[in-house]
Copies of this chain bind each other. A is one copy, B any other.
């Protein structure tokens, strides 16, 4: 068993073209023994957004705080605390903070492509 807390995990600026005001904490990954799955928390400033991207791995997302406009393929939907989102393989997606407080969400990523 490995235990940590969101408060104790280092925060990194997401330095990717097209991303604005996004920080990430790598909560669980291979270094903790998690061979198959990574768990991250993203923190997005008011007005910020992740970069538009698509890739083979699926995402499962849980909104912890705030209000987001999530784009998945051609759809755009407003989500908030308690919303759960599944992004399938190769679907283009982006998260925008359209609220008035920080946006925080958990996001899974498979380690094995």
Which residues of A come within 8 Å of B, CB atoms? Answer: 1-7, 9, 27-28, 32-37, 39, 58, 60, 62, 70, 72-73, 75, 77, 79, 82-89, 91, 93, 106, 108, 110
Contact = CB atoms under 8 A, between A and B. Distances in A.
Contact of A84 (B6, B60, B75, B79): B6
Given A34-B60, A37-B60, A110-B37, A86 B1 contact: yes
**Total copies of the chain:** 2
A7 B39 CA distance: 23
27 contacts: A1-B70, A1-B72, A1-B73, A1-B77, A1-B85, A1-B86, A1-B88, A1-B91, A1-B93, A2-B85, A3-B79, A3-B83, A3-B85, A3-B86, A4-B83, A5-B79, A6-B83, A28-B84, A28-B86, A34-B88, A37-B58, A37-B60, A39-B60, A39-B62, A39-B108, A62-B62, A62-B106
